[in-house]
Amino acid sequence: MHEMSLAVSLIDQIEKLAKENNLVRVDTVELESGELKLIIPEVMQEAFGVASDGTCAQGATLKINEIKVEVQCRQCQISFKPSLNDFQCPQCQKADVDVLCGNDIILKSITGQTQQDLKGDNHEDKCC
């Protein structure tokens, strides 16, 4: 289950960003997951819950947006969206491609609250 190691790394990033932005509690985390990373959203949600236990992200909502794979053929330069098990170019029939998107995991944003927000002085969430 590679989701657990990804969740632990994600929590490390979140804690660093939270500290840099004076967040004491993280409410929402938005993640982009490339289709090639083969993340199972339900498993990632569970791993995130376990990894965030005892951190500023405990109880935070994890939103996962899957990014579809897009490739470009190195032979004829056509861009296309392959199936996960077939990277053959529909134009020249070669399976020689560069991945344009769908192979990354990106932390897009976190939203949370500062100590001042929690005291009721400010009702707006801070996003980073």
Q: What is the DSSP string of 37-52?
A: G---HHHHHHHHHHHH
Question: pLDDT value at position 120?
Answer: 66
- Residue with token string 């344009």: 100
Question: pLDDT value at position 124?
Answer: 52
108-121 residue pLDDT tens: 999 999 877 777 65
Residue 128 has pLDDT above 90, yes or no: no
Q: What is the mean pLDDT of the chain?
A: 92
Question: pLDDT value at position 96?
Answer: 96
CA 123 – CA 15 distance, rounded (Å): 22
CA 124 – CA 37 distance, rounded (Å): 34
The highest-level CATH class for domain 2-67+102-114 is alpha beta
Residue 125 has pLDDT above 80, yes or no: no
Supply 25's token pair.
């509690």
How many Cβ atoms from other residues are within 10 Å of residue 35's Cβ?
17
What share of the chain has pLDDT > 70, as a percent?
91
